[in-house]
């Protein structure tokens, strides 16, 4: 199986550097253009299945990249963005020291202010990928978010921490993994 794992296109909150977790904002024009650019880069690839989080920015990106109508995109809450709690909608620099430390070093500091913790992110991303990899599809597009993509990548790459925290994924950056049984390897990073 080939898994095309990507972050959604840009939203206005991304452009303004605001913490955007569960807020359901649409793509802006730049985000729509980014998805179109990735569609051109992946021209000729036919997806057997297309998954996205339940948030409209991911569903729209999945539809624009794959050509699937939004109604045919399989939504899965396990790949929704991280819950940023009281930091939702704040600028990165306004989160306060506890949240900044947690977001920089999530394995060392506790999740403050109602933020989702790393254990929860790892558990739901592993559950999603385990179910996905049981399928018979050969080529799958998965569109999610900048926070949850980190434990998804950590699981696929077999990281001891369960995370690939740095570098931060860009909007519509695509990580291509080839899987065989329960193992996966990164074969491409498309920006």
**Can you give the C-alpha Rg of the chain in angstroms?**
16
Closest residue by Cα to residue 38 from 68, 16, 61: 61
Measured between alpha carbons, how far is 17 from 95 in angstroms, rounded to an integer? 12
Which uninterrupted H or E stretch holds 19? Answer: none
Closest residue by Cα to residue 67 from 90, 89, 47: 47
Is 136 in contact with 91 (CB distance < 8 Å)? Answer: no
Q: Residue holding tokens 């947690």?
A: 102
Just list the catalytic residues. Answer: 8, 81
Calculate the alpha carbon distances from 59 to 44, 68, 75, 80 in Å.
21, 10, 8, 11
State phi, psi for 187 to the nearest 5 degrees. -115, -15
């Amino acid at each position: 199986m080939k898994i095309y794992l990507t972050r959604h296109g840009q939203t206005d909150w991304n452009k303004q550097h605001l913490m955007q977790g569960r807020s359901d904002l649409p793509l802006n024009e730049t985000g729509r253009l980014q998805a179109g650019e990735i569609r051109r880069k992946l021209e000729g690839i036919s997806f057997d299945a297309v998954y996205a989080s339940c948030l409209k920015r991911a569903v729209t990106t999945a539809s624009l990249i794959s050509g699937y109508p939004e109604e045919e995109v399989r939504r899965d809450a396990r790949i929704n963005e991280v819950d940023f709690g009281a930091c939702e909608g704040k600028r990165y620099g306004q989160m306060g020291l506890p949240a900044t430390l947690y977001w920089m070093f999530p394995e060392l500091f506790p999740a403050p202010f109602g933020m989702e913790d790393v254990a929860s992110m790892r558990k739901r991303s592993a559950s999603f990928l385990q179910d996905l990899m049981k399928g018979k599809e050969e080529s799958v597009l998965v569109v999610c978010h900048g926070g949850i993509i980190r434990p998804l990548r950590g699981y696929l790459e077999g990281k001891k921490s369960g995370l690939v925290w740095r570098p931060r994924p860009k909007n519509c950056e695509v990580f291509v993994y080839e899987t065989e049984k329960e193992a996966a390897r990164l074969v491409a990073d498309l920006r």
